[in-house]
Structure 1
C-alpha cells in the first residue's frame, strides 16, 4: 500500500491511499462520509479484555494493555459508536507522553451470531480508519457485518488521532499543484523548495508525535487495541497500505495473529525506486485497460483505437504544463499535477471509469473542472477550500519516516528511460517522485526491515491482476515472504479484490473470516 511526497504521495505509494472501497468517490466528491472521533459521545458499556488478552510485551506497557474502552453513541444518526484509546507516543518511553487514538465501531448486525471484532484499515498511509468503518455497509458484505463488530481507528498522526500538520490549506493547494515533472531549472527549484518547506512545516506545526508516526509504531498501537477490545488474537482486514501495516503487525506479534486478510498487497521487500517503478507500470496497465474499454463506445472522446486514445491523453496532460485549463475557479486552474491526480483517481475502481470519460470529454473542450473535482477527491479537499482530513499531508510524513530514501534532481534524468519504458504516460512523474523525501527533518526510532511473520497462522493475501496502485506482482511476492501466506488472485480491474463484484473472492474471504476455512493457496478467481 499507495505511497509519498508530493510525489511520493503519488508515486511511491500512491494507491496506498485509501484501499479499495475505503471511501466512495461520490462521498469524496460531496464531502459525505465517516463520522470522526472528535464527535461527542455519551458513556456506554465498556469493552473489557478477556483473560489472557492483556498480557503486555513489556511490564512497563501494562497500563495501556489493561485499559477498557468506553464506547458511546457518535453524534449523528446510525449505529456507529465512538471511543478513544490511549497509547504512548514513544514505546521506548512508556512513562512519557501519551496520545489518544480515535476509534469507531459498527456493532455486529446479528448479536446472536457475533464472533468478535474485525479491525480494519483502508490504507494511505494517512486515510482515517474511522471513516472506513463508518462506511462498513458499502465496504463489507452481509456475512461480515452480521458476525463482526467492524472497528476502525485513525492511525497515529491521522484523522482525529493527533493529526500531523505541515501546511495551511492554501499552502497545500499550491503544493499539490506544483509541476510534477520539471523541465526547467526554475521548475526543479520550485519542486525542491516546496518539499523543503513542507517538511519544515511538519516540524513547526506538529508536536513531538511527528517523529513517531512509523508503520511499526502504529502496528504496536494495534496490539494495544486488540487487548482493549478483549481479543486474545487480532482479526484484521487491511487494504492497500493496510496490508503493509498488517504484515508488520504479524511480524511483530505472530502469536497474536488471528484471521488476517491483506487485500491489494504491498511488497514490503521493495525499495523506494522499485515501488515507484512498479506503480508506474501498474497505472499504465490500468489506463490502457480503461482506454481499451472506452474506445469500444461510439461516444468515447478518445477515438476508436487504444494507441491513439493514449496519445490523446498524453497530449492533454502535457499541454496543461504550459497552459493550465480553466476550471471555473479563478485561482485554481488545472495544472499538470492536478490533471495527473484527476486522471489516476478513477483508475482505482472500474465503476469510476465513467467519471474519467466525463472528465476527459470536458477537458478536450477546454474545461478542466471535472478533472479538478477528481483531483480534489483524491486529496480530500472540500469545495470550501478546507480538507476533510490530513491524509494528503500524513502520507508524506509516514512514508518518509518509514523510508527517507531519495535522489537529487540532478540524478532524475538518468532514471527517465526506465520509467518511461514502464509507463509512457506517467513515467516522468513517477521518476521525479524519487526526489520526494528530500528535506525530511526527523528520523524514525524504529523500523521493521524484514517481514516474514514466522509462527503466525495462515494469512490471506489478495492480488488483482490489473490493480493500478498495488500491482499484482506485489501480492505474489508478499504471499511468498510471509511464512504462512495464502494467495488469492482476482482477475480484474481496479484496486483491491474483496467486494469488487467477484463472487469467488468474496466467498473465499467470508468463509475464512467467519468459519476459519482457509482458502487453497493459489486460488484464482
Structure 2
C-alpha cells in the first residue's frame, strides 16, 4: 500500500516530516453538504439544547451530547503531556447505534503572551499516529513562539493507533505480505499477488468488522469538529501534512464558518480519482528519483554509475536480480531482501533528501557485498515494523481509509496490464510495481462511500496551501489544484526536494507559516521560497 506521509529513515535523527506515500491506495472524499447556516436554536432549556443553540439548525439533536462532552485530562506517561478519551458516533447518520472512542493528547502552551487556543496537528497517512507525531516532534520541534501561544493537540483518527485501531494481519503474515512480488512475470505470480491482496482484505474484514465501514475522511473530519468544541475553541486552528491536508480541506468544506487558521502542507487533490492519484504519485517518485540520481553521481560512493542517466537502468537491473535471487540481510527472522522490500526501501528514502546518503550506503552494501540489511531497515521504517516483528497498524488503517474513500483504481489484473505502459512512462523504475500496487482495493470487503469531489469551502477564512516543487508523494500540481478549488486559499510554494515544507530548513517557509499561525497574516499571493 502507498501512504500519503513520509516514512522516517531508519537511522535518521531528523524530524519526521508528514507521512504519506507507499503502495498507493488513493484517498479522496465524499463531501456531505456543509452546515454553514449558523442560526441559533429558538429554545434553550436542557444542557443538550444549550449545546444545540450554538450549532447550525441542521445539526441533529442526537449529536448534542457529543458536542457537549467534557474531556477528562490525565497524565499519559510522557512528561508534559496530558491525554483524554473523546467519544464520537460510530455512524453520524445513526448516532444511536454506538460510539467510537478516540484518543486525544495535548501539551499546554508553554510561554508568555496571549493564549491563542489549540493547534491541532496531523502528520498524514492515512494511518499515521497524530499523537505519536505530537509527542515525538510537533510539541518539541515546532517554533518556540508557536508552542508558547498554543496548546498543541492531536487526535488519532478513528481506526488509527490508539483510537480503536483497525487490524488486518499479524506480524508474521505482514512479513509475508510485504515481501509479495508486485511485478508479476506470469499468470502464477499474478495469482499470488491477487491472493495476497484478498487475504489482507479478508483479514481486515474479520478483525475489524464494526469499524471498517466508518473510517472515512469525512467521518474523521467531523470528529475534528467535536474535538474543537470539546477544547472550547470557536474555530479550528490546524496544521495538516500530506493526507492531513485532505482532512483539513474536508473539514473546511464541511464547516467553512468554523475553519480558522488552516495550514495544508504537501497538499492532496480531492478532485482526482484513484487511478489519476496513483499515476501522478508515480510520476512524483520519478521526479524525486531523478534528483537523487543527479546527487548520487556527485559522490564517489554512488554504486549506480557515473552519469545520472545510468542510475535508473542500473537500479532497475538490480531489482531484477533481486527478483530472481534475494540476498541475505542478517535478519533474525530469516527475511531476505527481494525486489519488493528493496523497492520499498528506495521509495522510503525518496521522501527526504536527508536520507539519500543512507540510501547510497544501503545500495552499495547490497550491490557490492550482497548485504541487504540497509535496504531492509529502510523498508521496515516505511512499514513501521519493530525489531521484534511487530507492526504498527499503519498499513491496516491506510488501506481501510483509502478503500472506503474512493472506488478502486483498478478492478482486475487485466485492467492493470492494460495501463502498465502509462505507469512505466511515468516512472521507468517504479511504474510497474506502483501500477500493480494500485489493485489492492479491488478486493476490499466494504463498498466505498466516497468519490472525487471539488472542495470550495466558500465563506472560510484564508487557508494556506503549501506545495513543494519536487515533492515525490504529493506532486506540486496537487497543491496548485487545491489552491484553485478553495475559495480563500493562498498558495505558498517551496522550490525544493522532499515531502512537505514546514520545518524542513527554509526560513522563508517557516516564517511565512509562523506569521499566519501567530498573527493571522497569510502569505502574499504567489509567494515562493527556497531552502536557506
Q: What secondary structure is seen at the aligned counterpart in 2 of 1:150?
A: strand
TM value normalised by structure 1 = 0.89
Which residue of structure 1 aligns with residue 92 of structure 2?
Answer: 91
Which residue of structure 2 aligns with residue 195 of structure 1?
Answer: 197
The answer as to whether partners of 2:287 and 2:472 remain within 8 angstroms in 1 is yes
The answer as to whether partners of 1:192 and 1:438 remain within 8 angstroms in 2 is no
Cα deviation code 1:117-136 (max 9, x no counterpart): 01011000000110111122
Q: Which runs of 5+ in 2 are unaligned?
A: 17-49
The offset of 1:453, in angstroms, is: 1.1
The offset of 1:140, in angstroms, is: 1.8
Distance 1:110 1:138 in 2: 13
The offset of 1:51, in angstroms, is: 9.1
> How has the CA–CA distance of structure 1 residues 205 and 161 changed in structure 2, closer, same or farther, with 3 Å as cutoff?
same
Equivalent of 1:372 in 353, 360, 376: 376
Distance 1:263 1:182 in 2: 35
Which residue of structure 2 aligns with residue 352 of structure 1?
Answer: 355
> How has the CA–CA distance of structure 1 residues 27 and 349 changed in structure 2, closer, same or farther, with 3 Å as cutoff?
closer
Q: What does 1:407-446 align with in structure 2 at a 5 Å threshold? A: 407-445=411-449
The offset of 1:112, in angstroms, is: 4.0
Distance 2:372 2:454 in 1: 44
The offset of 1:137, in angstroms, is: 4.6
The offset of 1:28, in angstroms, is: 9.3
> Bigger CA drift: 195-204 or 500-509?
195-204
The answer as to whether partners of 2:245 and 2:268 remain within 8 angstroms in 1 is yes
> How has the CA–CA distance of structure 1 residues 53 and 109 changed in structure 2, closer, same or farther, with 3 Å as cutoff?
farther
The answer as to whether partners of 2:269 and 2:479 remain within 8 angstroms in 1 is yes
Distance 1:202 1:264 in 2: 29
Distance 2:292 2:485 in 1: 32
Q: What secondary structure is seen at the aligned counterpart in 1 of 2:521?
A: coil
The offset of 1:288, in angstroms, is: 1.0
2:342 is the counterpart of 1:339: yes
Distance 1:79 1:358 in 2: 38
Distance 1:64 1:448 in 2: 29
> How has the CA–CA distance of structure 1 residues 53 and 383 changed in structure 2, closer, same or farther, with 3 Å as cutoff?
farther
Q: Which runs of 5+ in 1 are unaligned?
A: 1-8, 32-49
The offset of 1:430, in angstroms, is: 1.6
Q: What does 1:480-491 align with in structure 2 at a 5 Å threshold? A: 480-491=484-495
Q: What secondary structure is seen at the aligned counterpart in 2 of 1:104?
A: strand
The answer as to whether partners of 2:351 and 2:499 remain within 8 angstroms in 1 is yes
TM value normalised by structure 2 = 0.88
Alignment coverage as a number of residue pairs:
489
Equivalent of 2:5 in 17, 25, 32: 17
The offset of 1:304, in angstroms, is: 1.9
Cα deviation code 1:263-315 (max 9, x no counterpart): 00001111111111111111111111012112112232223210112222111
> How has the CA–CA distance of structure 1 residues 152 and 512 changed in structure 2, closer, same or farther, with 3 Å as cutoff?
same
The CA RMSD measured in Å over matched residues stands at 2.0
The answer as to whether partners of 1:339 and 1:371 remain within 8 angstroms in 2 is yes
The answer as to whether partners of 2:202 and 2:445 remain within 8 angstroms in 1 is yes
Stretches (4+) displaced over 6 A: 50-53
Q: What does 1:230-379 align with in structure 2 at a 5 Å threshold? A: 230-329=232-331, 331-364=334-367, 365-379=369-383
Q: What secondary structure is seen at the aligned counterpart in 2 of 1:514?
A: helix
Equivalent of 1:497 in 471, 493, 501: 501
> Bigger CA drift: 443-452 or 149-158?
443-452
The answer as to whether partners of 1:466 and 1:491 remain within 8 angstroms in 2 is yes
Distance 1:482 1:504 in 2: 23
Distance 1:132 1:262 in 2: 16
The offset of 1:82, in angstroms, is: 1.0
